Amino acid sequence: MKKISKMLLKSYMILVMIFTFSDIVIFFTVETYIKKSSADDLYAIDSFLQYETKEFKEKLNRGRNIKDIIDSALDEAPKILGSSIIFKVNGEIISNNYSLNELKQVESQEHYDVVNDYGYYNIQYLKRKINLKEYPDLEVYIIKNLKSEKRLMLNIVGISSLILAFTTLIAYFISRKFYNKFVFSLNELQKLTNKINLENFNTNFKESEFYEFQQVIISYNNMLKRLKEQTQNQIDFVNNASHELKTPIFVISGYVNMIKRWGLSNKELVEESLEAISEETKNMTNLVNKLLFLAKDESNNIKREDFDLKELIELIIRDLKILYPQQDIELKGEGEYCIYSDIFLIKQLLINLIENAIKYGNNKKITIILEKREGIVAKIIDRGKGISKENLERVFEKFFREDKARSRSQGSHGLGLAIVKKIADILDIKVSIESEIGIGSRVSIDFKNL
């Protein structure tokens, strides 16, 4: 695992290396340019002298003195700063301006006709022999002193080094200051997070001066709030589930004790106890199945297929008639109502909604209406006691029951509509409830996305 401090140091060193490499590239680029420019000056002078020396023989034939001819050529030669032209004939030196030390350095070299360097940024020279029968040892030396260029290069190197050192120090102090501020904020967050547990969800984080870090803190705060809500919901869920399971277990345990005490001699008591135990066992089985459904993630197990919604509702009504033989259920809707979805989940959703209407419908007729609009809409209408406005928003909560005592006698655990909501979310179905006390409730199921 990498540390931020090491990564910053590595980035800092890379930055220094980039600056250094850039300085080196600039230095060698300028050096190459200066040397090429100096060599071009020497070749320019050499071109002129080659043109002049071609006339030397003609001028000698006219009776002119070699020294006068060379002086004339020197006067007409290009004047370039730092350059010297030296003719050497019969051991005599003829020049416009020269340094004896430079000449000694060049004389010992054996390179001719090309520009050469002597020393690092010392001098550049071009040495050439002139072919004259009368003066076979005639030579010309074109020398360029690079002292000014050398001084310029040293200044460039010095200034670049100072800039690099200054930039490096500034970058170091800036990065250290940034790192200290960043680490301080990080340590504060670490201290607070270490204190967080299920009993303490303190989300009072101090604001950070860094925008990005502040966004992390905001996200962390929101996450803690969600965790707090989810944890509380889980605690409530466990408490409610344990409470719901305690009652049938207590009832079963009571009847078992009664059978142990008096059951052998009282046949009616045994039958009553077995009937009660059977009923509570069914009740517990129903509750456990609903809890398991809510606990499982069904979103990854969806199996979609085409089916007729009307046929499915008719099948559900037929099954519910066995459990509730006195209940009048009316289905309205002509033709086919085909949808493409998970038939098992749709069936569970409809069973819970219709059974809910039966339990709270006061034994009055229930009407189911199928309509075709933009999509298919199913309406389940009961004429029961209705739901108050303050409780209407809570009906999809787990274990919520408006009348807990009556719901218990009806075999309700407050999980049916929670299952409906979960299925609706999984299948992207819109379920809405309208209700009025004393008139009844109307549930609309919008299948337009299926």
- How confident is the model over 109-147, as pLDDT tens digits? 777 888 888 877 788 888 888 888 888 888 888 888 888
Percent of the chain at pLDDT above 70?
Answer: 81
Average pLDDT in the 278-293 region? 70
Task: Please list the residues that pair with 165 across neighbouring strands.
Answer: none
pTM: 0.46
Which residue, 110, 138, 154, sits at the end of a domain?
154
How high is the pLDDT of residue 406? Answer: 42
How high is the pLDDT of residue 378? Answer: 93
Residues 306, 274, single domain; the answer is no
Q: Is residue 184 part of a domain?
A: no
Q: List C-alpha distances in Å: 54 to 45, 59, 60, 406.
A: 15, 10, 11, 130
Q: List C-alpha distances in Å: 136 to 88, 90, 128.
A: 11, 9, 12
The three-state secondary structure class of 436 is strand
Task: Please list the residues that pair with 115 across neighbouring strands.
Answer: 126
Which residue, 154, 169, 194, sits at the end of a domain?
154
How high is the pLDDT of residue 344? Answer: 82
With a cut of 70, say whether residue 162 has pLDDT above it: yes
Residues 359, 418, single domain; the answer is yes
Which residue, 154, 170, 189, sits at the end of a domain?
154
Provide the pairing of β-strand 329-332 with 366-372. Answer: parallel
Tokens 């000056």 belong to which residue?
A: 41
Q: Could you read off the pLDDT of 341-394 as tens digits, one per residue?
A: 988 888 888 988 998 889 888 889 999 999 987 889 999 999 988 888 777 777
Q: Is residue 142 part of a domain?
A: yes
Q: How confident is the model at residue 286 (pLDDT cuts 50, 70, 90)?
A: low
- 432: Cβ–Cβ under 8 A, 6 or more apart, which residues? 443, 444, 446
Q: Is residue 173 part of a domain?
A: no
Task: Please list the residues that pair with 307 across neighbouring strands.
Answer: 339
The helix, strand and coil proportions of the chain, stated in percent and rounded to the nearest 5, come to: 60, 15, 25
The three-state secondary structure class of 314 is helix
Q: How far apart are CA 365 and CA 382, in angstroms?
A: 7
How high is the pLDDT of residue 82? Answer: 83
Q: 41 or 322: which carries more pLDDT confidence? A: 41
Q: Which two tokens stand for residue 384?
A: 């029961």
How high is the pLDDT of residue 246? Answer: 67
Domain harbouring 104, CATH code = 3.30.450
Residues 16, 144, single domain; the answer is yes
The domain in which residue 261 lies consists of: 211-295
Rg for the chain (alpha carbons), in Å?
51
**DSSP secondary structure letter of residue 399:** T
Residues 223, 312, single domain; the answer is no
State which amino acid sits at residue 167: T
User: How many domains, in total, are found in the chain?
Assistant: 3
Q: Is residue 190 part of a domain?
A: no
Residues 33, 100, single domain; the answer is yes
Compute the residue count for the chain: 450
How high is the pLDDT of residue 4? Answer: 62
Q: Could you read off the pLDDT of 393-442 as tens digits, one per residue?
A: 777 776 665 554 444 444 445 677 887 888 888 888 899 999 888 889 99
How high is the pLDDT of residue 407? Answer: 44
Domain harbouring 226, CATH code = 1.10.287.130
Residues 272, 395, single domain; the answer is no
Mean pLDDT of the residues in the chain: 79
How high is the pLDDT of residue 290? Answer: 62
Residues 253, 325, single domain; the answer is no
Helices (H), 196-338: 211-262, 267-295, 309-323
With a cut of 70, say whether residue 200 has pLDDT above it: no
Q: Are 217 and 207 in contact (CB under 8 A)?
A: yes
Residues 322, 393, single domain; the answer is yes
Q: 267 or 425: which carries more pLDDT confidence? A: 425
How high is the pLDDT of residue 202? Answer: 60
382: phi then psi, degrees, rounded to nearest 5:
-115, 165
How high is the pLDDT of residue 331? Answer: 93
Packing angle between helix 416-427 and helix 343-359, nearest 10 degrees? 150
Q: Could you read off the pLDDT of 36-58 as tens digits, one per residue?
A: 888 888 889 888 888 888 888 88
